[in-house]
Amino acid sequence: MNQYIETEKQFYMGTVRRQPVVIERGQGTRVWDTDGKEYLDFTAGWAVDCLGHSAPVMVEAISKQAATLIQTSNQFYTLPQLQLVEWLVKNSCLDKVFLCNSGAEANEGAIKLARKYGRDNRNGAVEIITAIDSFHGRTTGALAATGNANYQANFLPLMTGFVHVPFGDIDAIKAATNEGTCAVMLEPVQGEGGVISPPDGYLKAVRQWCDEQGILLILDEIQTGVGRLGTMWGYEQFDIEPDVMTIAKAMGGGVPIGAFLCKDACDVLRPGDHGSTYGGNALTCAASYAVLNHVKEEGLVEHGRLMGERLKGKLEEVKARHETTIKEVRGMGLLLAVEFYEPISGELVTSCNAGGLLLNPVRPTAVRFMPPLNISEPEVDIAVDRFERSLEDALQRIEKAK
């Protein structure tokens, strides 16, 4: 594999820290590298591959659509696009959809919508309150929304109009709200931030505050949407409805697609306000529709919830056997993290690679589990077994190196 790693180093910009695994093909929850070694993939393309790799239903939808029509531009109507937006509206609390190509792009659209809403309805208010340790993407607007100075430092000055407050603190949102505020933008559970669930009652209190103030609640469900937390949409877990929701990742099951959705009451964008050349193209829409329909028809949201419970329970058992190493098992549904007392996630992931389990080192002290929704019970059990053995291997190596 070394020759491939050298090629990357020579030709790819040095923006990513990759694991030394060259993945050649995938099937379901499994992938194989160029040496033929098999891994259980609990990264799922960063919570994207909700049906696993090369799911037959996706392969079929993509092949069929590719042979029929790929891209027309939004100068015209196409059937896959209409089918998809109708599905999204009928299966969510939102009323209108705009289709784009990624998560960051969905958030850019939501930010523009909120600004226009503020101009029209709140005397030109354009400020958006977001959370510290949030992640909303890498484009310049989404980067300004993101509450992580490490990602921002090299790209100052940022787009103005964002205020960051601690996640989970309703009083901080109240204190940050003023006449210039048009929206609050939050992830229901912070994903890149380390899988951080909100405290009980927080999102309900935010919803109530936004209603009282006449400002929009934007939920970034790019990671939590499409069954990840055990319900189709994350907001269902918290018994609230957002005014605006952004989605991507699992929505396409692996093809690049995103969307922002809104309620009729804030459907303010008009011709010329926003657009996208590829957004809503026939190919990705057909794939996304096939994925979403399959998730729904096959009951994969409920299945994923049950597999999440199983995985969390088994990880709790590992914790009980490694009390001095593992501090916490946290998360909801199939978005879980194991937190350690020491910053061992780098070493651990190296051991996991060798042990045939792909995990995401989301923090120096935490690894993230986000397998496909259609993972099987035996796969959960094998993965936890590999995890525990890799953990012991990593601890031994760390001890030896001391």
Ligand X SMILES: *Cc1c(COP(=O)(O)O)cnc(C)c1O
Footprint of ligand X (CB under 6 A): 102-104, 107, 135-137, 187, 191-192, 220, 222-223, 248-249
Catalytic choice (41, 42, 49, 135): 135
Catalytic choice (220, 238, 260, 312): 220
> How far, in Å, CA of 191 to CA of 222, rounded?
9
Q: How far is the CB of 139 from ligand X (least distance, A)?
A: 7
Task: Give the burial class of 276: count Cβ atoms within 10 A of its Cβ; 0-12 exposed, 13-18 middle, 19 or more buried.
Answer: middle
Question: Half-sphere exposure (CA, 13 Å, Cβ side) for 153?
Answer: 3
Q: Which is nearer to ligand X, 136 or 386 (CB)?
A: 136
Q: Which is nearer to ligand X, 232 or 248 (CB)?
A: 248
Q: How far is the CB of 275 from ligand X (least distance, A)?
A: 18
Take residue 321 and report the two structure tokens written for it. 């056997």
Q: Determine the residue type at 146.
A: T
Q: Are 135 and 103 in contact (CB under 8 A)?
A: no
Residue 174 known to be catalytic? no
Q: How far is the CB of 104 from ligand X (least distance, A)?
A: 3
Across the beta sheet with 335-340, the strand order is 326-332, 335-340, 366-369, 360-363
Q: Which is nearer to ligand X, 26 or 45 (CB)?
A: 45
Q: How far is the CB of 321 from ligand X (least distance, A)?
A: 31
Residue 393 known to be catalytic? no
Q: Which is nearer to ligand X, 326 or 362 (CB)?
A: 362
Question: Half-sphere exposure (CA, 13 Å, Cβ side) for 270?
Answer: 4
Catalytic choice (42, 243, 249, 369): 249
Q: Are 50 and 253 in contact (CB under 8 A)?
A: yes
Q: How far is the CB of 187 from ligand X (least distance, A)?
A: 5
Q: Which is nearer to ligand X, 192 or 243 (CB)?
A: 192
Q: Which is nearer to ligand X, 115 or 136 (CB)?
A: 136
The region, left, alpha or beta by phi > 0 then psi within -120 to 50, assigned to residue 299 is: left
Q: 303 CB contacts (<8 Å, ≥6 apart)?
A: 373, 374
Which residues in 3-34 are b (16+ Cβ under 10 Å) and which e? eeeeeeeeeeeeeeeeeeebeeebebbbbebe
Q: How far is the CB of 109 from ligand X (least distance, A)?
A: 12
Residue 98 known to be catalytic? no
> How far, in Å, CA of 299 to CA of 133, rounded?
33
Residues annotated as catalytic are 135, 220, 249
